[in-house]
A and B are shown apart, each in its own frame.
Chain A
Amino acid sequence: MNKAANNRIPTDWNGAIMQKRIAGRYAAERRFKAMGFVAVALSTLFLAFLLFTMLGQGVRGFQRTEIAVDFDFPTLTSGATAASITGANAEGALNSMDLPGIIELAMSQQYGDKGGELLTSAAVANVRQMLLADPQLISGKQRLWLPVDSRLDVAYKRKGEPAAEKTVETLSQNDVLRTGFNWTFLTGADATDPSAVGIWAAFKGSLMTMAITLLLAFPVGVFAALYLEEYAPKNKLTDMIEVSINNLAAVPSIIFGLLGLAVFLTMFGMPRSSALVGGLTLALMTMPVIVIAGRNAVKSVPPSIREAALGIGASPVQVVFHHVLPLALPGILTGTIIGMARALGETAPLLMIGMRAFIPTAPQGFTDAATALPVQIYLWSDEVNQGFVEKTSAAIIVLLIFLLGMNALAIYLRNRFETRW
């Protein structure tokens, strides 16, 4: 055996075989590195593609096509004056004026018998707002720009139905079409006509739901985190609490929806579709996130702080509420914002508790039927009408901007206030 070892020829590292082998190994190394790069690049590309698609379509959702309408107000209203629609009675005076009829008449004078069909249903409200903002308009001939019907809107922006394309072509030649900013989209509510829809009602519903969620999940989450980190004795009950929290953090969100349906709606008889029930359900979902973030933040406060406070005679409760909590608060807030951002984008549990209703006006109270922004996106995505495609993407842009803002705030808080002990 020894003899064989002595007779071994030393490896010829410069020989062709070994060089080839090393080259092969280096090639494998490069391939592996390239695979890693491709993986990261693919993920990034997918994100970029998603955002690009949403942005490309969504931008059109913020625009609307407007048509020029010539109003001869003195004739149309048989002599209404600016004075009659100013002051306290302005709304009533406008109501008694039959604006829809006036607009219909003006349209048919200018664009023929079926002229009224060119406009969207939101046009009446638009004229109303214009008149309220500037009553002087009514005392003369005016050219107002009003939003067109959704079919024409789609045809003007890109390819639409052949009939609508033809109408748009004729109108464009007369130079009576233009693109304007769609304020209705930011201030309106859901509607059956895509050019009259807005996200304000859904957004308000989201805000109200989030308010309830924050109000419940934040105190409960912080208290539970403090208890588990600072006071909890080592026993069966504490173990059970910890297991529950870790488990709840991983339960699919749709299960929380089932819980909300069975307990809040059926057992307690709370109002269906309301922001109150939505907020309660999302609070149960967000609470474990806040507890876990809160525990990490409390854990990172060094023991010397506690010992110093105890040493000068503070009680355990005073130690925690006067010293530990203020120091842990930035970390807790960061976790809370991230949890709230997750709740803001959550859809499935809200579907379960009926927040998918058609909401044509913004909810006034926490028990009114409401919907939320992500649910509104889901509802619009289901619509057959082509006009809803860009509205859905536009609503997604608004949602993403808010989520991005919340996450940026969380990162800022973390960098600004986090202390490295």
Chain B
Amino acid sequence: MTGTALLFLVLGLGLVAWIAGRARAAAFVRAAKGGPRGQVNSLPSYHGWFVAICAIIPAVFFMFVWQTISPALVTNTVLASPMTTDLPQDGFARAAILSEARAIAQGFQTTAFQAQSEKLVPLYKNALAYYSWIGMAGTLALLFAGGAFAFTRLKPDFRARNKVEYLVMLALLFASLIAIFTTVGIFASLIFESYQFFSMVSPFEFLIGTNWNPKNIVTPGADNGYGAIPLFWGTIFIGAIIAMLVAIPLGLMSAIFLTQYASSNIRKLMKPILEILAGVPTVVYGYFAALTVAPAIRDFAVMLGVSNAASDNALAAGIVMGVMIIPLVSSMSDDSIAAVPNAMRDGSLAMGATKSETIKKVLLPAALPGVVGGVLLAVSRAIGETMIVVMAAGYTANLTANPFDTITTVTVQIVALLTGDQDFGSPHTLAAFALGLALFITTFLLNYVALRVVKRYREAYE
């Protein structure tokens, strides 16, 4: 029986438990009518839920635990058999044979490509059947035990509603805690892997080295090519300089035009169009940048007389990334301009200032903290952006300020380091986590400062 079928069986039996509990409580209600004992504490359906929850939760929990540990148990049983002694000792070949035998035994595969795996199929079949039988029996036993326990506790004065509501509250709290678990999980895994990385490569080399050409075999004390300065510079150059040179003027001016000048019809039409720009997947932007924008820019550069213009130049990635960010800058500017009290604007207009003078000399200075906060958020979005730079920017680390040259970023290198066929413990993989940690800390600080700035500014006018 497969896991899915078992899950459905458990849920079906849970429904039976719900019906049984509810029926019993309904019997209490009928008996209590006109009887000496007064009323039943909870509605019958709460009794039903109580029985169903007690039956399902432990059973499902056991099922998931069993699903996680049983593959290891199956492999151990198979390896314990004398037939497996002639398997190759080499880890990779061994694992290939085992996984093939397993796939055949489970019916995912019909023919064996390796002779040895054919022999192991019956072993696997037996072990799989044995452990899945134990899993099924354990799940059903827990289900019946839980259901029976809950069922015997049902009495007219049993406070089923309070119990069920307590469990619901626990579920709500647990759901909220998942956010903390995730944050802790991200932080812990990044820190843990980075720690391993920095025990191989010196943090100084990583943070102040200018040579990025990661070697897979690390010699302590020597230059191993893990100097991340070119990557940091590339990230800042593309994400915080080129992209912002596009996004800030266009986003800010769009916001000003749409809120101050455009008629409400145009605003209603244009705002969703700008939002579409934010909804286009980044892989589409990346493809567009690599296919259309980058060659055009290279040709343009060659026309200008720049001889070393690369086809994966920084400018294409930066410009397209800037366009992607426009809606974010625009909506943040929009919010902060709208938050400026009308009295300030009316006062300026009453003194005879034109609209543009009012905007430039009154509204924008007043809204500046909000706009700055928006720009910081935009920078944090831009430096964490992956697909555009992976597809349009280059893979060569280059410490240059020439926008027509190829340049690489932190996210590109994370992808490059992790998509090779490396062991998880290799310096390449671990270096990706160290870069990830740097990225995580930077974006976290940027977001934190941005939110503080925006919040304080909002309070100033409220």
Q: Which A residues are closer than 8 A to B by beta carbons? A: 25-26, 28-29, 31-33, 35-40, 42-44, 46-47, 50, 53-54, 219-224, 226-228, 231-232, 240-241, 244-248, 250-256, 258-259, 261-263, 266, 268-269, 284, 287-288, 291, 315-317, 321, 341-342, 344-348, 351-352, 356, 364, 374-375, 377-378, 381, 389, 392-393, 396, 399-400, 403, 407
- Chain A residues contacting B390 (CB-CB under 8 Å) are 348, 378
> CB distance A224 to B68 under 8 Å?
no
> CB distance B270 to A220 under 8 Å?
no
Q: Provide the bound-state CA to CA distance between A221 and B185, in Å.
A: 18
Nearest-neighbour CB distance to chain B for A105, whole angstroms, equals: 29
Q: Provide the bound-state CA to CA distance between A341 and B275, in Å.
A: 13
Q: Provide the bound-state CA to CA distance between A252 and B386, in Å.
A: 8
> CB distance A268 to B68 under 8 Å?
yes
Residue with the highest number of chain A CB atoms closer than 10 Å, among B174, B175, B360, B415: B175
Nearest-neighbour CB distance to chain B for A222, whole angstroms, equals: 8
> CB distance A241 to B286 under 8 Å?
no
Closest 8 CB pairs of A and B: A252-B384, A36-B257, A345-B281, A223-B175, A39-B253, A32-B356, A262-B189, A348-B386
Return the contact of B354 from the options A25, A36, A226, A256 (Cβ within 8 A): A25
Q: Provide the bound-state CA to CA distance between A231 and B190, in Å.
A: 33
Interface residues of B in 262-302 (CB under 8 A from A): 262, 270, 273-274, 276-277, 279-288, 290-292
> CB distance B182 to A284 under 8 Å?
yes
Q: Provide the bound-state CA to CA distance between A403 and B360, in Å.
A: 38
Q: A40-B258, A53-B291, A347-B281 are in contact. List 13 more A-B contacts (CB 8 A).
A: A29-B356, A40-B253, A50-B285, A53-B292, A223-B174, A223-B176, A246-B451, A248-B182, A250-B377, A251-B440, A252-B384, A254-B436, A381-B283
- Chain A residues contacting B169 (CB-CB under 8 Å) are 231, 317
Instruction: Using A32-B356, A40-B257, A356-B419 as known contacts, say yes or no to A255 and B287 having CB atoms under 8 A apart.
Output: no
Q: Provide the bound-state CA to CA distance between A219 and B355, in Å.
A: 49
- Chain A residues contacting B182 (CB-CB under 8 Å) are 244, 248, 259, 284, 287
Q: Provide the bound-state CA to CA distance between A255 and B447, in Å.
A: 15
- Chain A residues contacting B309 (CB-CB under 8 Å) are none
Return the contact of A251 from the options B252, B387, B433, B443 (Cβ within 8 A): B443
> CB distance A254 to B444 under 8 Å?
no
- Chain B residues contacting A35 (CB-CB under 8 Å) are 253
Residue on A with the closest CB to B275? A407
> CB distance A227 to B173 under 8 Å?
yes
- Chain A residues contacting B381 (CB-CB under 8 Å) are 250
- Chain A residues contacting B279 (CB-CB under 8 Å) are 341-342, 345, 403, 407
Interface residues of B in 147-173 (CB under 8 A from A): 161, 165, 168-169, 171-173
Asked if B391 lies at the interface with its beta carbon under 8 angstroms from chain A, I say yes
- Chain B residues contacting A316 (CB-CB under 8 Å) are 165
Return the contact of B179 from the options A33, A46, A224, A375 (Cβ within 8 A): A224
> CB distance A258 to B273 under 8 Å?
no
Instruction: Using A231-B169, A317-B168, A407-B279 as known contacts, say yes or no to A50 and B443 having CB atoms under 8 A apart.
Output: no
> CB distance B433 to A36 under 8 Å?
no
Residue on B with the closest CB to A34? B257
Residue on B with the closest CB to A216? B178
Return the contact of A29 from the options B262, B287, B292, B354 (Cβ within 8 A): B354
> CB distance B176 to A227 under 8 Å?
yes
- Chain A residues contacting B178 (CB-CB under 8 Å) are 220, 224, 287
Interface residues of B in 390-438 (CB under 8 A from A): 390-391, 411, 414-415, 418-419, 424, 432-433, 436
Nearest-neighbour CB distance to chain B for A338, whole angstroms, equals: 8
> CB distance A258 to B414 under 8 Å?
yes
Q: Provide the bound-state CA to CA distance between A27 and B179, in Å.
A: 54
Q: Provide the bound-state CA to CA distance between A219 and B440, in Å.
A: 27
> CB distance A258 to B288 under 8 Å?
no
Nearest-neighbour CB distance to chain B for A90, whole angstroms, equals: 20
> CB distance B439 to A252 under 8 Å?
yes
- Chain A residues contacting B436 (CB-CB under 8 Å) are 254-255, 258
6 intermolecular pairs with C-beta atoms under 8 Å apart: A29-B357, A38-B253, A54-B284, A223-B172, A252-B385, A255-B440
Return the contact of B185 from the options A219, A220, A263 (Cβ within 8 A): A263
Asked if B380 lies at the interface with its beta carbon under 8 angstroms from chain A, I say yes
> CB distance B177 to A241 under 8 Å?
yes
Q: Provide the bound-state CA to CA distance between A381 and B161, in Å.
A: 57
Main secondary structure of the interface of A (DSSP, over half): helix
- Chain A residues contacting B168 (CB-CB under 8 Å) are 317, 321
Nearest-neighbour CB distance to chain A for B48, whole angstroms, equals: 15
> CB distance A253 to B424 under 8 Å?
no
Asked if B40 lies at the interface with its beta carbon under 8 angstroms from chain A, I say no
Instruction: Using A247-B447, A262-B193, A348-B415 as known contacts, say yes or no to A241 and B283 having CB atoms under 8 A apart.
Output: no
Asked if B261 lies at the interface with its beta carbon under 8 angstroms from chain A, I say yes
- Chain A residues contacting B383 (CB-CB under 8 Å) are 252
Q: Provide the bound-state CA to CA distance between A150 and B291, in Å.
A: 20
> CB distance B283 to A377 under 8 Å?
yes
Q: Provide the bound-state CA to CA distance between A344 and B281, in Å.
A: 8
Asked if B340 lies at the interface with its beta carbon under 8 angstroms from chain A, I say no
Instruction: Using A40-B258, A315-B165, A317-B165 as known contacts, say yes or no to A252 and B411 having CB atoms under 8 A apart.
Output: yes
> CB distance A378 to B283 under 8 Å?
yes
**Mask for B364-388, Cβ within 8 A of A = 1, else 0?**
0000000000000100110111110
Residue on B with the closest CB to A354? B419
Asked if B359 lies at the interface with its beta carbon under 8 angstroms from chain A, I say yes
> CB distance A254 to B415 under 8 Å?
yes
- Chain A residues contacting B254 (CB-CB under 8 Å) are 36, 39-40, 43
- Chain A residues contacting B433 (CB-CB under 8 Å) are 258, 262
Return the contact of B276 from the options A47, A346, A396 (Cβ within 8 A): A47
Instruction: Using A35-B253, A53-B288, A258-B414 as known contacts, say yes or no to A43 and B281 having CB atoms under 8 A apart.
Output: no
- Chain B residues contacting A222 (CB-CB under 8 Å) are 175
- Chain B residues contacting A44 (CB-CB under 8 Å) are 270, 273-274
Instruction: Using A33-B356, A268-B68, A345-B282 as known contacts, say yes or no to A255 and B186 having CB atoms under 8 A apart.
Output: yes
Residue on A with the closest CB to B444? A247
> CB distance B284 to A377 under 8 Å?
yes
> CB distance B175 to A219 under 8 Å?
yes
> CB distance A50 to B180 under 8 Å?
no
Return the contact of A254 from the options B165, B185, B354, B386 (Cβ within 8 A): B386
- Chain A residues contacting B444 (CB-CB under 8 Å) are 247, 250-251
Q: Provide the bound-state CA to CA distance between A137 and B206, in Å.
A: 69
Asked if B250 lies at the interface with its beta carbon under 8 angstroms from chain A, I say yes
- Chain B residues contacting A342 (CB-CB under 8 Å) are 279
Nearest-neighbour CB distance to chain B for A120, whole angstroms, equals: 24
Asked if B256 lies at the interface with its beta carbon under 8 angstroms from chain A, I say yes
Nearest-neighbour CB distance to chain B for A8, whole angstroms, equals: 18
> CB distance B288 to A381 under 8 Å?
no
Q: Provide the bound-state CA to CA distance between A259 and B185, in Å.
A: 7
Asked if B88 lies at the interface with its beta carbon under 8 angstroms from chain A, I say no
Q: Provide the bound-state CA to CA distance between A33 and B261, in Å.
A: 7
Q: Provide the bound-state CA to CA distance between A269 and B424, in Å.
A: 12
- Chain A residues contacting B354 (CB-CB under 8 Å) are 25-26, 28-29
Q: Provide the bound-state CA to CA distance between A400 and B411, in Å.
A: 24
Instruction: Using A33-B257, A268-B68 as known contacts, say yes or no to A43 and B386 having CB atoms under 8 A apart.
Output: no
- Chain A residues contacting B249 (CB-CB under 8 Å) are 39
Nearest-neighbour CB distance to chain A for B333, whole angstroms, equals: 11
Q: Provide the bound-state CA to CA distance between A162 and B179, in Å.
A: 59
Nearest-neighbour CB distance to chain A for B124, whole angstroms, equals: 17
> CB distance A258 to B190 under 8 Å?
yes
> CB distance B257 to A255 under 8 Å?
no
Interface residues of B in 60-87 (CB under 8 A from A): 68, 71
- Chain A residues contacting B286 (CB-CB under 8 Å) are 378, 381
Residue with the highest number of chain A CB atoms closer than 10 Å, among B183, B285, B291, B439: B183
